[in-house]
Structure 1
Amino acid sequence: MVEVPIKISNRLKARDLLGKYHTLFTDKKEISGDTLIFINVGEWNFDEEQLDKEIEQVTDKHTNRPVFIDDVPLED
């Protein structure tokens, strides 16, 4: 039996290979999914046309997301 000393470079290489295998060193995170957009109108003090325009702007900005519009007036 012959003992061979372990080099620092071998330790670092083994650590890097294990980290890559378990994806510990990835900086890029990708989150996918559709986030629901809630629009709570409540007591709207302006015209219905302006409200429709604002809703259209939000839906155009976020084309792939579902939009939920809550137009029930708030109760005291």
Structure 2
Amino acid sequence: MLVILIPAAFGAIMSPFVFDSGASRRTWWIFGTLVALPILIILSQIVSWIAFLRHNYDFAFKVSLLPVLDILMIIFLFSVSSDLK
């Protein structure tokens, strides 16, 4: 999951350009998910490694999948957003 950190950081850097079409509630959601993704990747990897070292494998696996939820939310928000087309 750390491999995706580089494109996620690039997406967070470019996220202010979402507001080129105007600010709306949906663009704020997209901006928030784009900025949160690199932070979520780093935090989920730290927490999942700590849980793994404590032999809590189920929790470690579930925490490591949290960035996937954020990616799915970004895809959903871009697909339903009529402001960004």
* Higher RCO, Cα 8 Å, sep 6+: 1
Q: Which has the larger radius of gyration?
A: 1
TM-score (normalizing by structure 2)? 0.27
More strand per residue: 1
More helix per residue: 2
